[in-house]
A and B are shown apart, each in its own frame.
Chain A
Amino acid sequence: MAVNPADKYHTMSFDLPPDSDDEENIPDWLKGLQSEEGFGDSGDDPFGAEPAEDSPDWLGDPDDTGVFRRPAEPEPQDVPDWLASIRQAELDASASPDQDQPDAADEEGQDWLQNIRDEEASQQEAAGEGVSSGFLDRIQSLKEQEDQPADSGDQADWLSGLDQDSGESEMSGLFSSEAEFADEPAPSGSAGFDLGDFQLEGDVPDFYASEEPAPGQRPSDPEDTFVLDDYEPEGEMPDFFSDSAGESAAAGESPDRFDDLDPGGGDAGLPNFLGSEPAEPSQPSEGFPDFSGAAPQDQAAGFSPVSEAHDAVPEDQQGWFDSTEDQEPEEDPMDWFTAEGDGDEEDVPEWVLQLEAKSPFPEVVFPDESDLDESLDLPQSQADDGSLDWMSGQAQAVAGAGFAGPAFSGDVGGGVPDWLANLQEDGEAASGEPSAPAFEDAPLIDSSEYLADAASILEPTDLPDWLTQSSPAQAPAVEPIQPVESPVESSGDTADISPAELPSWLQAMRPVEAVAPAIDLGEEEERPPGAPESVGPLAGLSDVLPAEPDVVVFGKPAVPATGNGITETIQQYARMLEAMVASEEQAPPIRRRLVALPQQIMRVVIALVLYALVFVPVFSQSRAVSLPEAAAMPAESRAVFTAVEAVPSGAPVLIAFEYQPGFSGEINAAAAAVVDHLLDKGALPVLIASQPIGPGLGDYFLQTTQSAHPAVADRKYVNLGYISGGSAALLNFAADPRAAVPLPQEDGTSRWDQPPLQSVHTIRDFALVIVLTEDPDRARAWIEQVQPYLADPQDPAAAVPLLMAVSAQAEPMVLPYYQASPQGVNGLISGTKGGAFYEAQTNTQGPAGLYWTGYNAGLIIAVLVILIGGAVNLARSVFINRRQQGAQP
């Protein structure tokens, strides 16, 4: 349903006093507005005055329901001067007999309205829900009724619906426009209604004083006039109220019912429709005021304001309503209206002509009927029945009166302020439907200046509660209005601001009392008035005004314990511990050792040179380097030769193989000549080892180096095998060889009972003990554990000699035992050199002689590499030192 706000303006703005040209009678606020040139066209803000200051008292005192009410007992003397002057001007202008009736109805008109208001107020108080919820319910019901198909051909749906509701005495029933708004989608429609409502309420003086219809713009909807009329301000009653009555009185066309109703003539208390003279029936519109149906014949619901007023007024004043309803019109009920508002200048009151002649505003250029039809978008049924024709006539009458309306435009698109656009968007978002056509097509509030000023007037704090609060009945309709609470904030992109989230700095500034629980002051609150104070500096004094419980707190407020005692430091330590444990579980990446490229190249070059110089003599079996001289044989080696020479033929000789396979080449070169010498002497070798590899190495040694001897070839040697236990096993073997190494055989006999072991009962029964090892520790173990058992306690000189053939790397640790006294080792052969000496001494060709050339070549290369490397490093260090010295100043 399209609501034409231009009609509102039309009914509200043509009520200028007939003698508006009288500068003295025009109120100050009107003077200021008139002094502005062309404000209707230029679009300048016609509301120049501070809205807050101009807001009437009744606007700032809403009741519980949020409705701004007029004071219960209006004082007659509260009429402002300007209103009084207007009344006086009206009296002057209505000197003719036609205007006596409106003048006479001045005070009584207020009385009946006052009665209506009083009764409405009482009904609203009794309603509980308040007016806001009541009239919205009413709107809903009207909407539902209008949605139903028409049951009468003569009566429009909306009229019939309103007719059914005409008997209701609710406050909302007066507002037929509310029903029309209710036809719109709930959010938009309700928003639009409320908006228009509070705008009218809050901006009545300024609006009606300043708004003038702009040329080519339609007047506003008269429905808001009722709102204005309902919330009639006492101190700032717009003059058009009184003027309307005066005009009606001047025109002499006031119907009888008005005479009955307001015998005193039109005054400020009269509704404006009393003064509005319909020119001729125009195109009906849903947005047109309902009181258009006030024609007695139609009993139109559009005249519901009057019907509502009929129910609202006291019974003693309802007579005129009843009489009016009973009257059958002799002619078309709108004839009088159309005749009055035909737009002929002859019918125009004189003061209107004067005003038109002197009006500084441009003339109103109203659209023709076709434009109205298109803009109003009325149902065809309503358009045909002609029930609203009087509205067009009224508009033409106004046009003929020369009143310029505000800059209302049919298109609200560009004139809608941001906050209203947001409000509409919110309404759409809440309802899921587009905005109501009433807001989009019919510019209920199509003046941006007006709305902007209304928004500025209605500060967030000035909004009435009924606008911000929504009762359960009207919750879905009022919810979209919430952004209106702060038009400034909702105008931008802050429509989705999360509520009540204090910043940290502000939280830190909160008083402790705001965080800590307040002390229970129930006892203080329950204390009867007049009782003396019990605590604080005012203790003992009575009749002390109670302080705010949360502000005056004696004692330290209790601080609630938070957490379970785990401080931030403890938590930090816990996190560190977790990180450490997690890092332990992660295997660090293997860092590859980086070797410089020159160093790698040098290593490969040295290896290749060494390999070549060693391999060539060995491969060629060269004996370029002769064996050492036997005369130069070391004493320890010579002692070995001497000891072997003393071994009797066929005597068992204990040979211990205590070296690792990697040193077999060196040990073979060192001991081959010695074992060969023993075998030449006819000794019987007995092999033993304290390591698992020893027995195998013993067999390999004899088979590879002494295979030419018959004792080895015939397997006449005995391999005792491996004795486990390390030093303890050696000690055990030295103490009791037969117990340490049992040699059971399958036939139940022992190997110890067979030759050559049958003569061996102790360690001293061996003619010689030779230990082949590369490990100094094993050599020391034999020296420490076995050597003492080789000596004869009775004759130390008759001890069994202990000889050793060791690797060159063990010589420095074993030689001291040879040089010690008493000797731990009676003879020592070390490495290839010792074997070469022994071969030279025995004049045999063993492995030492084969390795001797390559051995010497390798030693020479090693010496050269060491010397060259040392020289290079020395030169490099010297060069670096000199460069550093040169760099220093």
Chain B
Amino acid sequence: MTGTLDTFGTALAAVLTVLVLLYAVGDNPLFRLAIHLFIGVAAGYAGAVAVTDVILPRLAGLGGSQSGVLVAVLLMLMLFMKISPRTAPLGNPASGFLVGVGAAVAIGGAVRGTILPQVSSAGDFFGLDFFQGSVALIGVIAVLVHFNFTARRAPNQIPERSLPIRIVSSVGQAFIAVTFGVIFAGVFSAALTALIERFKFLSSFISSFL
């Protein structure tokens, strides 16, 4: 039985894989069918995981603390009021609590985990390698200058950045282009690896019938 389900699942996965690969010839109903199935299955799986891994364990784990249960239940009911436009205002406090906490967490983590370490690291490039450090320094400065949108106003003329700023901005624009190129190469590499993995799956599926 398990082997049959596995075989059916493998065959279904192979068919869906082929349907997705048909996107190479353009958007087509078969590709849309596969995408819709994937989205539906993923949403259903996520809901099931939320119930089994979050709600039930939380409710069971809060049994020892009545105050915590009351607060959690109260916030949950308030958030549940968002289901209807008439009762949506009742869920605003819970939503505000979630947004406030999330913003505080994100900002605090960004300052502490990204901004300060990156600023500190930018000045330490020369300690690693002169060329690499120089390129990194030039790239950082050039990109920051490129995103400088201030200019001096001249009488009867359109505000325009000075020539040195424009030159440095062009250098920063080149660094941005290289960065986007690298990111595109990483995307292509990831997609290529996914294609290879699917071909490996199809090869295994075909090999199982040979």
Residues of A that sit less than 8 Å from B by CB: 595, 600, 603-604, 607-608, 610-611, 614-615, 618-619, 621, 661-666, 668-669, 692-693, 695-696, 721-724, 726-728, 731, 742-744, 774, 780-781, 783-785, 787-788, 807-813, 816-817, 819-824, 830-833, 847, 850-851, 854-855, 858-859, 862
Contact = CB atoms under 8 A, between A and B. Distances in A.
Given A618-B200, A742-B61, A784-B109, A665 B194 contact: yes
A785 B198 CA distance: 34
Contact of B114 (A696, A722, A780): A780
A727 B200 CA distance: 35
Contacts of B58: 742
A604 B197 CA distance: 21
Interface in B105-121: 105-106, 109-110, 112-114, 117-118, 120-121
Nearest to A719: B53
Nearest to A742: B61
Given A692-B46, A692-B47, A820-B121, 6 more contacts: A607-B24, A614-B199, A618-B200, A665-B200, A666-B193, A858-B195
Contacts of B188: 862
Contacts of B54: 722-724
A850 to B, nearest CB: 6
Interface string B68-100: 000000000000000000000000000000000
The 8 closest A-B pairs by CB, nearest first: A665-B197, A784-B113, A784-B109, A742-B61, A607-B24, A692-B46, A820-B121, A809-B186
> Which of B24, B57, B117 has the most CB atoms of chain A within a 10 A radius of its CB?
B117
Nearest to A739: B61
A800 to B, nearest CB: 15
B118 A820 contact: yes
Given A831-B186, A832-B189, A822 B117 contact: yes
B197 A847 contact: yes
A743 B106 CA distance: 27
A661 to B, nearest CB: 7
Contacts of A615: 199, 202-203
Nearest to A593: B27
B179 interface: yes
Contacts of A695: 49, 53
5 contacts: A600-B26, A784-B109, A820-B118, A820-B120, A821-B117
Nearest to B47: A692
A781 B102 CA distance: 12
Nearest to A600: B26
Contacts of A808: 185-187, 189-190, 193
A832 B46 contact: no
Contacts of A820: 117-118, 120-121
A603 to B, nearest CB: 7
Contacts of B109: 727, 731, 781, 784-785
A858 B187 CA distance: 13
The main secondary structure of chain A at its interface with chain B is helix
A611 B21 contact: yes
Nearest to B192: A858
A785 B101 CA distance: 13
A605 B109 CA distance: 48
A607 B24 CA distance: 6
Contacts of B177: none
A737 B65 CA distance: 18
Contacts of A595: 26
A345 B46 CA distance: 138
Nearest to B101: A728
B118 A855 contact: no
Contacts of B199: 611, 614-615, 618-619, 854
A659 to B, nearest CB: 10
Nearest to A819: B121
A573 to B, nearest CB: 32
Nearest to B113: A784
B183 interface: yes
B158 interface: no
Contacts of B42: 661, 693
Interface residues of B, number: 52
Nearest to A607: B24
The main secondary structure of chain B at its interface with chain A is helix
Interface in B169-210: 179, 182-183, 185-190, 192-200, 202-203, 206
A821 B186 contact: no
A604 B113 contact: no
A861 to B, nearest CB: 9
Contact of B24 (A603, A666, A822): A603
B195 A614 contact: yes
A600 B24 CA distance: 10
B95 to A, nearest CB: 14
A764 to B, nearest CB: 17
B45 interface: yes
Contacts of A812: 179, 182-183, 186
A722 B45 CA distance: 12
A783 to B, nearest CB: 5
Interface string B51-67: 00110011011000000
Contact of A824 (B61, B106, B117, B190): B117
B1 interface: no
B12 interface: no
Contacts of B186: 807-812, 830-831
Given A731-B105, A742-B57, A850 B117 contact: no
A121 to B, nearest CB: 94
A595 B196 CA distance: 28
Contacts of A618: 196, 199-200, 203
Contacts of B206: 619
A564 B182 CA distance: 69
A858 B117 contact: no
B9 to A, nearest CB: 12
B155 to A, nearest CB: 38
Contacts of A693: 42, 45-46, 49
A731 to B, nearest CB: 5
A855 B193 contact: yes
Nearest to B122: A820
Given A619-B199, A664-B197, A721-B53, A809 B113 contact: no
B124 to A, nearest CB: 5
B25 interface: yes
A773 to B, nearest CB: 12
B193 A665 contact: yes
Nearest to B193: A666
B15 interface: no
A603 B23 CA distance: 11
Nearest to A664: B197
B167 interface: no
A693 B44 CA distance: 11
A833 B113 contact: no
A430 B81 CA distance: 81
A831 B193 contact: yes
A555 B182 CA distance: 88
A293 to B, nearest CB: 104
B50 interface: yes
Contact of A831 (B24, B110, B190, B195): B190
Nearest to B61: A742
Interface string B115-145: 0011011001000100000000000000000
Given A603-B24, A663-B190, A744-B60, A855 B196 contact: yes
